[in-house]
Amino acid sequence: MPNIISLKNINKVYGQNTANPTQVLFDLSLSFEESTFNSIIGQSGSGKSTLLNILGTLDKATSGDVIINNKNTQQMSKNELSSLRNESIGFIFQFHYLLPEFTALENVLMPYRISKKQITKEVQDRAEELLEIVGLTKVKNNLAINMSGGQQQRVAIARALINNPKIILADEPTGNLDSDSTEQVYELLREINKRYQTTFIIITHDRHIAEKADRIVEIKDGRIHLDISKA
């Protein structure tokens, strides 16, 4: 399988121009293959969230290259990066980050509307289908603010999928959910991975969850500590 996303010799230093710069990532190189289900684990402060933000082009590496879809993102303008994120990457954050002023359905459609394409019947149907997959058809017209944490997280998952992205980056997607909801959400993500061949990179601190992934990467002190792939 070809690589969908690769990091090459990534260094990340915070507060570079201050007296005490802190280096978080050290010469880190890592690649993920298409359609795989990966997890990144590590203690808090290990640099895993920074790694994910750099993978998602939300943060810039101090040095090194991020290659997505065979394109080096380090030289891209802010607008090019925005378009790349919009088309190729779906994000699921620990704090679901829905737009509270909009309904579940509107939130799901938002990445599509940001791409400035006309809302067609197909897209509308797809949004409803995604909401059905995450089990929220009944509450699709509720404002995000009037939904439970678990429901909001599932809306965020549907939203991450609307533009058919090749990659989904998730940072502790079940961090604030109870264990039942956590189980449901993971099964959902696995199902989507099978169904749409979407590449998943998921940060978690829960080893039990991480073990369900095809590959586990452990980050420790800004370096790769372990990299295990299931046969």
Partner 1 sequence: MRLAIQIAWRFLSSAKRQTLVIILGISVGVSVQVFIGSLISGLQESLVDSTIGSSSHITVLSNNEDNLFISDYQAIMDDIDSNNDQITVLSPAVDLGGILEKGELKKEVFFRGFNFTEANQIYKFDDKLTEGSSMPDALNEIILGKTLQTDLDLSIGDTIDIEINGAYRTLTVVGFFDFNVAVINKTWGIGTLETLQDVIGSNQVTSIEMQIKEVFDAEALALTLDENLSSNDLVTKNWMTENQELLSGLSGQSISSLMIQVFVIISVVLGISSVLAITVMQKSKQIGILKAMGIQDRDASLVFLSEGFILGIFGAIGGVLLGLGLSYSFTTFALNPDGTPVVPLNIDGGFIFLSGMIALVASTLASLIPAIKSSKLTVIEVIRNA
Contact positions toward partner 1, by CB under 8 A? 53, 56, 58-59, 78-79, 82-87, 91, 93, 95, 97-102, 110-111, 113-116, 159
CB of 35 to partner 1, least distance (A): 22
CB of 1 to partner 1, least distance (A): 26
From the list 198, 196, 222, 184, the residue with the least C-alpha distance to 42 is: 222
Handedness of CA 123, 99, 185, 168 (dihedral sign): positive
CB of 133 to partner 1, least distance (A): 19
Alpha-carbon distance of 12 to 115, in angstroms, equals 30
Alpha-carbon distance of 209 to 22, in angstroms, equals 30
Output 37 or 91, the one with its CB closest to partner 1.
91
CB of 222 to partner 1, least distance (A): 17
Alpha-carbon distance of 166 to 126, in angstroms, equals 17
Output 119 or 226, the one with its CB closest to partner 1.
119
Structure token pair of residue 183: 């189980």
Output 4 or 109, the one with its CB closest to partner 1.
109
CB of 150 to partner 1, least distance (A): 19
Output 35 or 86, the one with its CB closest to partner 1.
86
Structure token pair of residue 115: 């791409």
Alpha-carbon distance of 54 to 203, in angstroms, equals 13
CA atoms within 13 A on the CB side of 67: 16
CA torsion angle 59 61 66 71 (round to 10): 70
Output 82 or 148, the one with its CB closest to partner 1.
82
Output 1 or 17, the one with its CB closest to partner 1.
17
CB of 103 to partner 1, least distance (A): 10
**What's the count of helices (H) and strands (E) in the chain, helices before strands?**
7, 10
CB of 160 to partner 1, least distance (A): 9
Is residue 91 within 8 Å of 160, Cβ to Cβ?
yes
Single-letter amino acid, residue 102: F
Output 112 or 216, the one with its CB closest to partner 1.
112
